[in-house]
A and B are shown apart, each in its own frame.
Chain A
Amino acid sequence: MSATHTIVNLPDQRTATIPKRNYLNNEDGLLSWLFTGDHKRIAILYLISITFFFFIGGAFAGLIRLELLTPQPDLVASDTYNKFFSMHGIVMIFLFLVPSVPATLGNFLIPIMVGAKDLAFPKVNLLSWYLYWIGGLFTMAALVLGGVDTGWTFTTPLSTHYLNTHVVTAATGVFIIGFSSIFTGLNFIVTIHRMRAPGMTWFRMPLFCWSNYAASILMVLGTPVLAITLVLVALERLVGIGVFDPTKGGDPLLFQHLFWFYSHPAVYIMILPGMGVISEVISTFSRKRVFGYTAVAFSSVAIALFGFFVWAHHMFIMGVSNYSALVFSLLTMLVAVPSAIKIFNWAFTLQKGSITFETPMLYAFGFLGLFTIGGMTGVFLGALGMDIHLTETYFIVAHFHFVMVGGMLMAFLAGIHFWWPKMTGRMYPESLSKLAAVTTFIGFNLTFLPQFILGYLGMPRRYHAYPPEFQVLNVLSTAGATVLGVGYMLPLLYLGWSLKYGAIAGNNPWQATGLEWQIQSPPLTENFIETPVVDHEAYDYEWLAHKTAQEVTTVG
């Protein structure tokens, strides 16, 4: 092996201790974290922050399920219940699902994966974390001041005209969080375009970079439209006249168009980075290159592009013309094609691979099952006739929880476990983590499968009481939510434990091929001492075996 294509960094072998110098201990003190420009530290800041908000959103989910345990409204009154599900939605969507994978894993990994020392704009990156918190605090303020009961969609004229709650505060929060998301996306796109290491061509990039790139396009193009829509909602509430209020000549449908122009693509902002994680995990634990790498890469971009042309399927029952409903129904189903390309290619990757069921792989298998169910039911909902029967029922609730919670959250947990050794230098406890993965999967299905049936039978969403015949399924769902809650608490506990007591991970515990595994764990602040020169395809396990053999002879 000639010197030109060696990645000149710490050799790939298990070390007995955590490296003395790494990004975690390079500088000390709280201020060094709060003013850091290091993308890895910002990723950790994000990880802590979004975990915090995840459990706040989760607490509201628990309260919702508790209220729905019985048909009577015996826990809370309807307006309080409305505030619960609004807060659950706003916190989970804007403060957890949208930033989760990009802001934590994306921030940590994208520069390393493309062979750069940092993201293109470190200060902007830090700014976006602060914007995330400022927005989060506005949202929390809305909650403390008395809550919002519009649902997460802020639908007009309900939000602008009829409700006397803290819509403006919450909308300001979401507006600010939106800019955090725009800046993250912008940083990723510039980094991937301009800062790839020599030899890191577009088609040598890990699929995680591709999927985050596609999600970034959506963030950059979609989020500003949400921002201006929320500005108009806030202005309309403050001035009392406007573009959405039908009594003053405005049109609530305009709000729906503008809102869903962002919010449907936002679903792909949530799921695409998760798909990137799954590609990495499946490839690593099957020890094969992802089947149809190019197709999987392009399908991310295709999902992003199609994502902008399907928004009106949220409006089939709201007075769009039959003709446009038909067109949007067709376009919606087209999105299933690139999604299916991914699923089939992952299945082919697994075929004849030497598969091992490490914890990230268990989560990834959970993702495959749940996302497939979520995606298939999405095709039901895209079909015009079915949608009219099922819209605003629990079928919808189950569908988007399968896609976003089952898909995205499983992928997030897969990714956290997969890269935990790289981020902290330590392993998590093996059997507990597998238990958590299985618990999550069982709890998830128990929670949301009954909701498909409930929705099909006609139970509407957003009601705090229901006819007694729906109780059995609701009890099952609430029981499932409890199991799911345990499944989410477990990683919090054992990952915290592993920070101090976990086994030392070494540089490349999974024998994976990405650049991030060729540097020390935890990495140095500057990632690479010398800029790497990449001379192999992504997921090239023969290259890795060759390289490892070389090192054993040189070091040994």
Chain B
Amino acid sequence: MDNAIVATHPHTHETAVAAEHEHVVLPQHRHHFETKEQQREAATFGMWLFLLTEIMFFGGLFFAYLLYRNWYHDAFVVSSNQLSIPLGAANTAILITSGFFMALGVWAAEVQKKGLLVLFLVLTTFFGVAFLGIKAVEYHEKWEKHHIPGAHFDVSQFINPQAYGLKEKPLAPDMAQKTQVFFFLYFAMTGMHAFHMILGIGLLFWLTWRANRGEFSSGYVAPIENFGLYWHFVDIVWLFLFPLLYLINRHPGY
């Protein structure tokens, strides 16, 4: 008889469940965490780890870029001169502004100001979309200039730049071919970055909708904080891409 009671254990279980319900403070508190602090710490720690995987993910591309930049220095110089610094710089400013509003958004969530939070999230989204718009203009320009690697790529403008009105040093045909490597890496790296932006903007819409419902106005701010980390990470990747692709190597003294 003892065995049967022990096996199903109805009494102990019900009291335990009741006890558990007492310290559930927030609806967002998941049952498997002891406290909401533990839940928040776990979410933040998980986010940092995820960003670590992202660093390794982009790391492969940066590794390839560094390698080929050393090997095909001349081709990379000429190619990087084809990128528009004004557009790149404008995008850098826009993205930093977006990151600034995201930081304000996290602050607004922490001080539990719903209206401000929604406003800042909308502004973050706006500048994020503006960034992608400029990126699209740049991609279109690359298409028109036949700088997209593959069948339409025009190598001859790097072999004989004068005929195209470019003030570049002519490259030997095999080195001119290497400009494709630069543009392939340019599209791979900025494309991967833009893909992260698109995902982020999707998440921003979702967070704005939730913020508008008042979900983050009660002290539960982990999603906003963690998205903020993600958004800043995407900013930082761009802050490496901009100098590497656009700025360094420009017009050395020949």
Contact = CB atoms under 8 A, between A and B. Distances in A.
Nearest to B2: A555
B188 A116 contact: no
B53 A224 contact: yes
B184 A531 contact: no
Interface string B46-75: 100110111011111101100110011001
B177 A248 contact: yes
B153 interface: yes
B31 A225 contact: no
A505 B53 CA distance: 41
B186 to A, nearest CB: 12
Interface in B1-19: 2-3, 6-9, 12-13, 16
A35 to B, nearest CB: 16
B16 A232 contact: no
A194 B56 contact: no
A118 B42 CA distance: 12
B150 A194 contact: no
Interface string B79-100: 0000000000000000000000
B45 A194 contact: yes
Contacts of B26: none
B9 A120 contact: no
Nearest to B181: A249
Contact of B12 (A121, A191, A529): A529
Contacts of B31: 117, 526
B103 to A, nearest CB: 24
Nearest to A179: B53
Contact of A220 (B52, B149, B151): B52
Contacts of A250: 181
Contacts of B8: 19-21
A239 interface: yes
Interface in B96-124: none
Given A186-B53, A555-B6, A258 B32 contact: no
A186 B32 contact: no
Contact of B32 (A13, A118, A190, A520): A118
B7 A249 contact: no
A241 interface: yes
Interface string A188-227: 0111011100000000000000000000000011111101
A122 B32 contact: yes
A2 B102 CA distance: 52
A189 B49 contact: yes
B181 A243 contact: yes
B50 A248 contact: no
Contacts of A121: 42, 46
Interface string B154-194: 00000000000000000000100110110011001000100
B96 to A, nearest CB: 26
Which of B42, B45, B60 has the largest number of chain A CB atoms within 10 A? Answer: B60
B38 A195 contact: yes
Contacts of B177: 248-249
B33 interface: yes
A550 interface: no
A258 B66 CA distance: 14
A221 B32 contact: no
B38 to A, nearest CB: 6
B41 interface: yes
A241 B184 contact: yes
B34 interface: yes
A232 B64 contact: yes
A186 B49 CA distance: 7
Main secondary structure of the interface of B (DSSP, over half): helix
Contacts of A20: 7-8
A496 interface: no
Nearest to A19: B7
Range of interface residues on A (Cβ < 8 Å):
35 or more
B185 A10 contact: no
Interface string A416-444: 00000000000000000000000000000
Contact of A225 (B59, B181, B192): B59
Contacts of B67: 251, 254
B49 A243 contact: no
B33 A195 contact: yes
Contacts of B174: 249
Nearest to B60: A228
A235 interface: yes
Given A117-B32, A232-B188, A248 B53 contact: no
A195 B57 CA distance: 27
Interface in A250-275: 250-251, 254, 257-258
A195 B7 CA distance: 27
Contact of B178 (A249, A257, A555): A249
A555 B3 CA distance: 9
Nearest to A117: B32
A458 interface: no
A17 interface: yes
A240 B42 contact: no
Given A186-B49, A241-B153, A530-B16, A228 B57 contact: yes
B68 to A, nearest CB: 7
A520 B7 CA distance: 8
Given A189-B49, A555-B2, A243 B64 contact: yes
Contacts of A8: 12
Contact of B46 (A117, A190, A231): A190
Contacts of B53: 182, 186, 220-221, 223-224
Contacts of A193: 45
Contacts of A111: 32
Contact of A190 (B45, B75, B178): B45
A121 B50 CA distance: 13
Nearest to A251: B67
A111 B42 CA distance: 14
A248 B180 contact: yes
Given A117-B31, A193-B45, A194-B38, A529 B13 contact: yes
B60 A225 contact: yes
A493 interface: no
16 contacts: A122-B30, A195-B32, A195-B33, A220-B52, A221-B56, A225-B56, A228-B57, A229-B60, A239-B150, A249-B180, A250-B181, A254-B64, A526-B31, A529-B16, A530-B16, A555-B2
Closest 6 CB pairs of A and B: A118-B32, A224-B57, A228-B60, A117-B32, A224-B56, A249-B178
Given A241-B149, A248-B177, 8 more contacts: A13-B6, A21-B8, A186-B46, A190-B46, A224-B57, A224-B60, A225-B59, A555-B2
